[in-house]
Chains A and B, each alone.
Chain A
Amino acid sequence: MKYTKLLPAIFIATLLPFTAVADEDENIWNKVLKPEYFAGQAIEESDKVIELEAPVRAEDPALVPFKIVSKISQTKENYIKRILVLVDNNPFPFVGDFDFTPESGKADIAMRIRVNSNSNIRAIAQMNDGKLIMTKKFVKASGGCSAPIGANLDEAMSRLGKMKFRLDGDIKVGEPTSVQLMISHPNITGMQMDQVTRFIKKAHFVKDVKVSFNGKPVLTAKTDIAISTDPNFRFYFVPEKAGELKAEVTDTSCETPTKRDVCTKGDTYTETFKIQP
Chain B
Amino acid sequence: MRVLLLFALFMVSIQTTAATALPVKEVSSGVYVHFGKHQFPDSKNHGEIANLGFIVGQKCVAVIDSGGNPEQGLALKQAVTETTNTPICYVINTHVHPDHIYGNSAFKAAGVKFVGHHKLARAMSARGSYYLGKAADQLDVKLSAADLIAPDIEVKDSLKLDLGGRTLTLKAHPTAHTDNDLSVYDEKTNTIWLSDLLFTEHVPTLDGSLKGWIAEIDKLEQQSFRYVIPGHGELVTDWPQSMQAQKHYLTLLLTEIRAAIKKGQHLEDAVQSVGYSEKNNWALFDEYHRKNVTTAFAELEWED
Contacts and interface: CB of A to CB of B under 8 A. Distances in A.
A116 interface: yes
A26 to B, nearest CB: 20
A110 B301 CA distance: 16
Contacts of A150: 298
B295 A60 contact: yes
Contact of B41 (A110, A143, A147, A154): A143
A217 interface: no
Contacts of B301: 182
B46 interface: no
B107 interface: no
A28 to B, nearest CB: 16
Given A145-B99, A151-B207, A193 B138 contact: no
Contacts of B132: 193
Contact of B291 (A60, A148, A194, A232): A60
A97 to B, nearest CB: 23
Given A168-B264, A182-B301, A199-B121, A192 B126 contact: yes
Interface centre among B130, B132, B137, B268 (most CB of A within 10 A): B130
B126 A149 contact: yes
Q: How large is the interface on A (under 10, 10 to 19, 20 to 34, 35 or more residues)?
A: 35 or more
B266 interface: yes
A146 B178 CA distance: 10
A155 B41 contact: no
B242 interface: no
B205 A199 contact: no
Given A144-B205, A151-B208, A151-B295, A194 B125 contact: yes
A144 B179 CA distance: 17
Interface string B116-137: 0000011011111111111001
A63 B302 contact: no
Nearest to A230: B298
Interface in A146-189: 146-155, 159, 162, 166, 168-169, 180, 182, 184
Given A117-B137, A155-B175, A199-B122, A143 B40 contact: yes
A197 interface: yes
Given A60-B295, A145-B41, A196 B209 contact: no
A195 interface: yes
B125 A148 contact: no
A63 B129 contact: no
A65 B267 contact: yes
B9 interface: no
A151 B124 contact: no
A265 to B, nearest CB: 24
B150 A196 contact: yes
B264 A197 contact: no
A148 B134 CA distance: 12
B298 A193 contact: no
Contact of A155 (B130, B205, B209): B209
B257 to A, nearest CB: 14
A196 B267 contact: no
A252 interface: no
B218 interface: no
Contacts of B148: 193, 195-196
B129 A230 contact: no
A160 B124 CA distance: 23
A145 B207 contact: yes
Interface in A41-75: 53, 55, 59-61, 63, 65, 67
B62 interface: no
Contacts of A2: none
A197 B125 contact: yes
A154 B126 CA distance: 13
Interface string B260-286: 000010111001000000000000000
Going nearest first, the 10 A-B pairs with the smallest beta carbon separation are: A193-B128, A197-B125, A147-B127, A195-B145, A145-B97, A59-B290, A192-B125, A59-B291, A65-B268, A196-B150
28 contacts: A53-B268, A59-B291, A60-B295, A63-B294, A65-B267, A67-B268, A112-B267, A144-B40, A144-B41, A144-B288, A144-B291, A146-B207, A149-B127, A150-B298, A151-B207, A151-B208, A151-B209, A151-B298, A152-B175, A152-B299, A153-B126, A159-B302, A162-B302, A166-B264, A182-B302, A192-B128, A195-B146, A196-B121
Interface of A: 53, 55, 59-61, 63, 65, 67, 110, 112, 116-117, 142-155, 159, 162, 166, 168-169, 180, 182, 184, 191-199, 228-230, 232, 234
Given A154-B175, A155-B299, A197-B122, 4 more contacts: A145-B207, A152-B209, A196-B148, A230-B302
